[in-house]
Amino acid sequence: IAPNCLADFLDFNDFLELAERVVRKRKLEGVIQLASFHPLYQFAGTEADDVTNFTNRAPYPTLHLLRETSIDRAVEVFPEADAIYETNMTTMRRLGVQGWRELDVGASQGSSQ
């Protein structure tokens, strides 16, 4: 969690690319997986204010290191783990920006909220 740096999403994205290279260079693919969250998170191909971006938004830039063995155990318990992502996207689309605002779970920087 980096509350005092990488406020710009493009800078954060560049940092994420560097982190992915380090994982490969250290031969940690299959050992750890990176999950990223940012106040201005934006999936490729979406507009900045697309409500689906909110699924990966967080109050501060965050790089989460996940052990692949932990992911494997979670998938054993919940074999349709990929469905979580799709369900989150569907829920956000149904909720919409106004519904998100009404939840009052935190403002999202950089969008018209």
pLDDT for the residue 112:
44
How far, in Å, CA of 113 to CA of 111, rounded?
A: 6
- Dig out the tokens for 29 from the structure: 């693919």
For 90-109, the pLDDT digits (tens) are 999 999 989 988 988 765 55
Q: What is the pTM of this model?
A: 0.83
The backbone torsions φ and ψ at residue 106, rounded to the nearest 5 degrees and listed phi first, read 130, 135
Q: What is the DSSP string of 43-79?
A: -TTS-TT-GGGGGG--SS-EEEEEEHHHHHHHHHH-T
Q: Over range 75-97, report the average pLDDT.
A: 90
